[in-house]
Chains A and B, each alone.
Chain A
Amino acid sequence: MNRIFRLRVAALLVVALVGGVLMGGVMADESSDLMFPVPEFSDHPIPTASVPEVQGEVAPLLDVAILFVALCLASYFTLVSRSRRNVLLLTIASLLWFGFWRQGCVCPVGATQNVALAIFDPTYVVPLTVVAFFVLPLVFTLFFGRTFCASVCPLGAMQELLAVRSIRVPRWLDHSLGLVAYIYLGAAVIFAATKTGFIICRYDPFIPFFRLGANTDMLLFGSSILLISVFVGRPYCRYLCPYGAILRVLSCFSKWRLSIPPDTCINCQLCEDVCPYGAIHPPTVTQSPERRRKGKRRLVTALMVAPVVVLGFWWLGTALAVPLSQWHPESRLAEQVRLEELGVAASTTEASDAFRGSGRSVEQLYQSALSRRNDFVTLGGLLGAWTGLVIGFKLIHLSVRRRRDDYQADRAGCVSCGRCYWYCPVEKVRLGLISDVSEALPDGQLPTGPLVQLTVGGKKS
């Protein structure tokens, strides 16, 4: 019943989402027609453009305060009260506030770019609010694990709510796809540092929904991510989110973090498949000497391959100076102007017309585009080296074997959503719902792990 019900919900969501997408497409198409001529034969006043009022001091501070409170609550709900229900309510609240009310801005994910730009360009003054938004979740993660992802991040919240029918992504696929987020992070940093653009914001798939409007491409992208979220838990968080990439790393070193059972794991296997994000790993088995030897060989190979990969990708990156620099609007403009100068451009563009009206010389434009392209030889190399480093590290990481005696939430991958609590018999004993773990086990099943007798409150008897 539960399964069929979930399927139905998934189907309904799909229908509604597809409807939304189509409608969005229609709306987006229409937006191009919004340029009306002034009404005819009337004294209709042409509205003058107005600049919105500067935000006062209070609003940004309020944002930071709300973020701080939300983080505290999230950490409390996941680690202390261990209440999935509260986590969920907080998730909805965060989605409504940070997502729909604040329209996804400012958000720590995008703040990464402001901070990167501030580091590379001392003339850029980054608002302290933005720094706070960037730093607070990092600090919380260092102490409590990814509680920010659990219920504060509006992007995560949206996907969390849609994770209705998650299929299990094989771990090897999960690990390899996860690399994309790190590369995206690298690209976002160099693009932000060179003022090429804030790509995280530009390609944020959730913004069209938070703001109820976007161009068709972004709507399609966003809708696809949402659709995928129904079947693959948090695809953006796992495979794209650049901030999540940082959080994953920090979370590995967090002082405290979520543990599935409140006390010792009894290896009952009940939580094994419940994590929609594939973040619960079973205990490892003892390896045969043959396998251990193989594993060592794999590690040695990985250690040798890693520097080659770094070098190879560094070289590849240097070769991408032209395409990377062309992400900058000015470089694209230079190409267009050059095509026009050569007489081979099909037509002029709004940007090139504006440029010709600006009085700036073509040489200056070219000069700037060429020096940017030069910069991108180095930056492309750096991005390549970073990519190589991430890949090399992943290869080494994959060849290092870690021993686990019980079921554990993956330090990096667990977003502290708390879904697994309910399944854990030890948790049920803690909550006083049962008096002995065996009551929670399916008939005839005995836990395979060390059987610990727990009393109400989760203390060992």
Chain B
Amino acid sequence: MNAYLGYRSILLSAWVAGVFSTLVGVILVIDGMNRLDKVPLEATSFVQLREQFLQQPDNDQLRQEIQALDLALRQEYFRELRFTERGSYLLLGGILVTLIFSKWAATLYRKLPRPKPKLPGPDSDEVLSHRGPWAVAVVMLVLVGTAWAMKAGHQSVLPSTLDALASVHHPVGERKSDGQDAVIEPVLAELPSAAEMRANWPSFRGADGSGIASDQDAPTVWDGESGEGIVWKAVVPLPGVNSPIVWQDRVFLSGATAEERGVYCFDAGSGSLLWSTDIAVDPTVAGQPIKTSDDTGYAAPTMATDGRLVFAMFADGQLVALDFAGNEMWTRSLGVPQRNNYGHASSLVTYQGSVIVQYDQGSSEDQLSKLMCFDGATGSPIWETIRATPASWSSPIVIEHDGQAQVITCCDPWVMSHSPSDGMELWRANCLERVEVGPSPVYSDGIVYAGNDTAIYAAIAVDGSGDVTETHVQWTADYGLPDTCSPLVTDEFVLTLASYGTLFCFDKQKGGEPLWEEDFGADFLSSPSLVGDRVYLFSRDGTAWVVEPTGEACNRISEAQLGEECVTCPAFHQGKIFIRGSEHLFCIGSANADDQ
């Protein structure tokens, strides 16, 4: 009986202590919640007093009031803090007492178990040696997964050696010298000059879309497989056929699949992925069918930058702007392109801080095709011109002639020029009748060169207005015309590359019949580029040729292998070539080539 009484009183004590602990816990929680966003010196009365004081700085009484309130608020705060602290000790003590008494009670009331007779069968050691190794295997898998996640989640922006680091200079954000306030200046608040644009590779085929590098030299020999001549190669997280653009020490690319899309920024020096930003599908187009083909995919348009922001566009018509740190600045859905057999592919181009989109779709009767211009900083539309042309896949270029800027576009059946400031049409020439326009126009010395397989090739002077087909077309050619690759216009020649592997060379002044043609026995989707006197050709299977065209023949300088498929155009920057293969982004060149 006595023992029972003892048990009862211990149990009761345990209960009392338990209830007490719970109460203390609850009070502490309620008290804590009440004080959650109470910052003492932000109390309304205090703030008001201070504001009043700002207006009457000589009011002594007010000053004393503030002082008194300041003290009171602080005292109140620390009183509350002490309350919490004491409460915590009480809670701790309460829990301890609960534990001790409940343990005591449980011990007094402890009963022996009534084990069941053992059934025959494998003992627990047997089960252990049977299941144990599998459980260990699962732990191994988890460890491998963790290791992989750690590796993926901790990319380093430091290259592997200091030497590699030394080759990367010119940080884009100007940094103040030591000792000053270490705040990063916004990346290029001012628009870059034309020279700066040319020194970089800010859009498809460079600043003017010509595929001509400002450098005079670039590597001629490399091998993607063995790594010879390759400074680095980096995996591009998502696929895409857009070409790299380069701004100072950063290389930008986009990639997408039906489900995901992303914009990537690589360090030009080390190849490390500086950031990657996932772009969410715009809710207005989510779930809508998007027409693409193997040759375009979901991220065909090459990005563009105005040195302040980068712009990317995807197959579903989503246009997005990001800053150089990868933060999304704005995004706009231009609507899913309609009746576009191969998927949207036209690349972006910038003009004076705006971004221009050639958004051709449907048939000419649909009047769905538009040339659009958006404010780069905000994404708000500046102008939009509806054009009665069907879908096309060529990219616009912005040129300047006689102090006037023009946006040149190719579409069926026109080569057209618009003013980039208001979208007004300047001139048009009919030379792309009934073709699916792929190659982009190129401008050189007052002439735009444009054309397409099954139509004609034309050299059009850009100083006309209205329909200039009869008046300003300098020459035409009807043989050796490109179907996908854009032409390359050098000082003397116009070079066109047919996707079946033949390079044609025309006299820049006369056109007509090609001066020569050279067959490379490979398929091409990548447009030719020029560095110095040398023409760079990247075939679809990754073989590249460096050739030197003359009036008489095509002199082959070298042949190199990328080691993977390639349908994009190279970017040339500071003696290096940046080219996107089917899986990797390659940087070709010697590590210190840009030290020259």
Chain A residues within CB distance 8 Å of chain B: 1-2, 5-6, 9, 12-13, 15-20, 22-23, 25-27, 29-30, 33, 36-37, 39-42, 88, 92, 100, 161-162, 164, 170-173, 175-177, 179-180, 183, 209, 212, 268-270, 272-274, 281-285, 287, 291, 295, 298, 302, 309, 313, 316-317, 319-320, 322-324, 326, 334-335, 338-348, 352-353, 356-357, 359, 363, 366-367, 369-370, 373, 387, 391, 394-395, 398-399, 401-402, 404, 422-423, 440, 442, 445, 448
Contact = CB atoms under 8 A, between A and B. Distances in A.
Contact of B29 (A9, A22, A164, A369): A22
Interface residues of B, number: 103
A334 B162 CA distance: 13
A176 B153 CA distance: 26
Contact of A295 (B115, B129, B131): B129
Contact of B154 (A272, A323, A339): A323
Given A367-B162, A387-B143, A27 B84 contact: yes
Given A179-B136, A272-B115, A343-B184, A320 B151 contact: yes
Centre residue among B41, B89, B153 by max chain A CB count within 10 A? B41
A369 B25 contact: no
A209 B92 CA distance: 9
A92 B172 CA distance: 62
With a 10 A CB-CB cut-off, give which of B36, B112, B153 has the most chain A CB atoms: B112
Nearest to A326: B154
A177 B139 contact: yes
A401 B84 contact: no
A215 to B, nearest CB: 16
B136 A391 contact: yes
A348 B182 contact: yes
A298 B98 contact: no
Interface in B109-141: 109-115, 118, 120, 122-129, 131-136, 138-140
B424 interface: no
A41 B325 contact: no
A320 B100 CA distance: 47
Contact of B157 (A33, A209, A339, A391): A339
Contacts of B129: 295, 298, 398-399, 401
B153 A341 contact: no
B91 to A, nearest CB: 6
A399 to B, nearest CB: 6
Nearest to B326: A344
The 7 closest A-B pairs by CB, nearest first: A19-B25, A343-B173, A26-B32, A176-B135, A323-B154, A269-B115, A398-B132
A398 B136 CA distance: 10
A356 B182 contact: yes
23 contacts: A2-B110, A5-B11, A16-B25, A16-B98, A25-B32, A27-B84, A33-B39, A41-B67, A161-B96, A268-B115, A273-B113, A291-B126, A322-B156, A323-B151, A341-B175, A342-B171, A344-B325, A348-B184, A356-B178, A356-B182, A370-B162, A422-B110, A445-B114
B83 to A, nearest CB: 11
A401 B155 CA distance: 45
**Residue among B41, B84, B102, B129 with the highest chain A CB neighbour number at 10 A:** B129
Nearest to B114: A442
B386 interface: no
B124 A282 contact: yes
Nearest to A267: B118
Q: Which of A37, A398, A404, A442 has the most CB of B within 10 A?
A: A398
B156 A342 contact: no
Contacts of A172: 127-128, 131-132, 134-135
Contacts of B249: 342
B136 A175 contact: yes
A5 B109 contact: yes
Given A171-B124, A176-B139, A323-B153, 13 more contacts: A5-B105, A16-B25, A19-B26, A27-B32, A92-B100, A161-B103, A269-B115, A291-B122, A302-B133, A316-B144, A356-B178, A366-B158, A366-B162
Contact of B99 (A100, A161, A338, A440): A161
Contacts of A338: 157-158
Contact of A171 (B88, B102, B132): B132
Contacts of B21: 12, 16
B265 interface: yes
Contact of B136 (A18, A176, A346): A176
B391 interface: no
A19 B22 contact: yes
A163 to B, nearest CB: 10
A366 B165 contact: yes
Contacts of A319: 147, 151
Contacts of B89: 212
Contacts of B110: 2, 422
A22 B173 CA distance: 43
Contacts of A316: 143-144, 147
B501 interface: no
B145 to A, nearest CB: 11
B403 interface: no
A36 B41 contact: yes
Contacts of A179: 136, 139
A342 B24 CA distance: 53
A6 B84 contact: no
Nearest to A305: B133
B98 A13 contact: yes
